[in-house]
Amino acid sequence: MDVVETWTGRTACALQAALRMTNEEFAARLGVAVRTVATWHADTSKAPRVEIQRALDTLYETGGEQVGRRFALLSRTAEPAAQAQALRVAIAVVVRGSDVLLVCRRGAGSLRWQFPAGIVKPGGDAEAVTVQETHAETGVHCAAREHLGTRLHPTTGALCDYYLCDYLAGEAANRDQLENLDVAWAPVSTLARFIPLDSIYEPILTALEGVA
């Protein structure tokens, strides 16, 4: 069995493929969020945190001989088979008065502060995911008002659907502490302190002009 000194997104995806697991199954076995696994598919160079490295070690070591053989083959290819799974993300731009809801991701580099988002499963409804994941991450109930557009994200390569959403109820709180460091309502007028404006999808900025 090959020894993995440091797990990366590429080798983690290779292990997932060797185990023949879906994103949901793999995330459950590792004790991480599904979006974490999706991030490894989007950025194969990303190295998981130390505790996840240990969980990957355990899953690999207990996988058995057949899994070890498949992993050895997949991990030597430039792009593992699991990489072929498309990544689609629904993103919520939730407005409350003159504020917009943000989450602070763990280990997200220049994209640390972001709008709430969730992975859309094949055949899933992006608008429904927008509402559901916003509540799951932040405790905030919202309703999608307008689809702002779709693009391939220039940093992650994910296919992103953006929705302008209205706040309905709920206190903003960090309900996904494994993935996020913080949750905050940010005044639209100070959004540039959290996210560089040149990295924000232009239709979002246009939509927020009326609430600043």
The domain that contains 134 carries what CATH number? Answer: 3.90.79.10
Share of the chain above pLDDT 70, in %: 92
Alpha-carbon separation of residue 121 from 38, 88, 103, 156, 199 (angstroms): 11, 7, 21, 17, 25
Same domain, yes or no: 33 and 59: yes
Bridge partners, residue 151, by sequence: 160
Mean pLDDT score across all residues of the chain: 86
Q: In terms of domains, do 102 and 135 share one?
A: yes
How much is the pLDDT for 74?
A: 82
C-alpha distances in angstroms, 159 versus 70, 111, 149?
Answer: 29, 16, 11
Domain ranges, residue 24: 9-84
Number of structural domains found in the chain: 2
pTM of the model: 0.62
Q: Which residue did the predictor score with more confidence, 103 or 179?
A: 103
Would you state the structure tokens that stand for residue 109, as one six-digit string? 């580099």
4/183: higher pLDDT: 183
Residues 101, 163 within the same domain: yes
**Distant-in-sequence, close-in-space partners of 155: CB < 8 Å, separation ≥ 6:** 110, 111, 199
Helices (H) and strands (E) in the chain, counts: 7, 7
What pLDDT shows up at residue 78? 42
| pLDDT for the residue 111 | 58
pLDDT range class, residue 83, cuts 50, 70, 90:
very low
41 part of a folded domain:
yes
pLDDT reported for residue 34: 81
Q: Which of 68, 84, 100 marks a domain boundary?
A: 84
Any bridge partners for residue 94, and if so which? Answer: 165
Task: Give the helix ranges, DSSP H, for the chain.
Answer: 9-19, 23-30, 34-42, 50-61, 65-75, 126-138, 202-208
Is the pLDDT confidence value at 43 over 80?
no
Is residue 203 domain-shared with residue 153, that is, in the same domain?
A: yes
Higher-confidence residue: 197 or 81? 197
pLDDT tens digit string along 124-174?
899 999 999 999 999 999 999 999 999 887 777 778 999 999 999 999 999
